[in-house]
Structure 1
């Protein structure tokens, strides 16, 4: 069986963006808003060199909430994918949940199985790529990420992203790191 690292995106791989209209930090809505943290590429390359299959698992509810369009979100996803390809990083699969139970877009307003902390996407990865959750990690900045990893049986690392602090504090991750670079050091040390 293969080992994997499941990565949340916003606040872990890339910076959150402040939107003055809503006065909140959110995922990038446009490609030019996508800014990777300076350590992201090196950390993810190290995960790859350590033999982990890599997955992005991200809740992207802003279209459901009427804050942007699916077209704009897809342009952001395409830019991230292109950056990874240019840096010889292989992401086995990108999993994005566009739903939200309190949305305003009727097509995307629903309770679903794919929204974290649900493990629908992790189960898909396990089935398709023969993933061993006991040898795998989930890295995220919010409690929902940690719960997702724990619900699947992975080890968890919570990134202390100051712009996400209101969404943290209730979960008990296995480890806490300031950023993806520190998470990389933890995984190298723990060596699953």
Structure 2
């Protein structure tokens, strides 16, 4: 069976954008605001070199909330995809949940199983790609990411940054890191531990 790394997007791969209207850090609403953190490309390449399959798992409820258009959300993803493609980085799947239970767009304002901490996308990936979840990881910056990964048996790493204050602190991740580079270093160390015990 294969192993995987499931990654949240905003706050893990790219900078969240401060919204003065809500006084919160949020996902970028358009491609011009989308910017990767330093070392993300290098870190993703390291994961591929370790033979991990990569999956993006992201809650994107801002259309459901009436804050932006689906076209804008698609354009942000397209920019990410283009950057990764230019750097020869391939994700097996990009899983986006556009729902929110308290939205204002009726068809998207539902309770669903794909919105983290729901684990529908991880279960789908496990079946489609024959993944061993005990050898897989979830990396996120919020409690919902950690709960999602732990519910299907992955190991978890919390990215701790100021923008996630108030959205994290209740879960119990196995590891914490300042950024994706540190998270990848943790995975490498754990690979060494596994090799030593085999």
Structure 1 length-normalised TM? 0.98
Partner of 1:137: 137
Partner of 1:162: 162
Taking the TM superposition and a 5 Å limit, the aligned residue runs for 1:27-176 are 27-176=27-176
Measure the CA separation in 2 of the matches of 1:5 and 1:16: 21
- Report SS of the residue matched to 2:182: helix
Measure the CA separation in 2 of the matches of 1:9 and 1:161: 14
Measure the CA separation in 2 of the matches of 1:33 and 1:97: 20
> Which blocks of at least 5 consecutive residues in structure 1 are unaligned?
none
Partner of 2:5: 5
Deviation for aligned residue 1:127: 1.1
**Considering only aligned residues, what root-mean-square deviation do their CA atoms show, in Å?**
0.8
Measure the CA separation in 2 of the matches of 1:158 and 1:92: 22
Deviation for aligned residue 1:165: 1.2
Measure the CA separation in 1 of the matches of 2:69 and 2:2: 35
What do the CA deviations read for 1:111-133 (whole angstroms, capped 9, x no partner)? Answer: 00100011100011111111110
Measure the CA separation in 2 of the matches of 1:164 and 1:67: 20
Measure the CA separation in 1 of the matches of 2:53 and 2:190: 17
> Which blocks of at least 5 consecutive residues in structure 2 are unaligned?
none
**How many correspondences in the alignment?**
192
Deviation for aligned residue 1:17: 0.3
Measure the CA separation in 2 of the matches of 1:20 and 1:159: 23
Measure the CA separation in 1 of the matches of 2:112 and 2:184: 31
Measure the CA separation in 1 of the matches of 2:60 and 2:120: 15
What do the CA deviations read for 1:147-180 (whole angstroms, capped 9, x no partner)? Answer: 0000010000000021011100100000000000
Measure the CA separation in 2 of the matches of 1:65 and 1:9: 19
- Report SS of the residue matched to 1:169: coil
Structure 2 length-normalised TM? 0.95
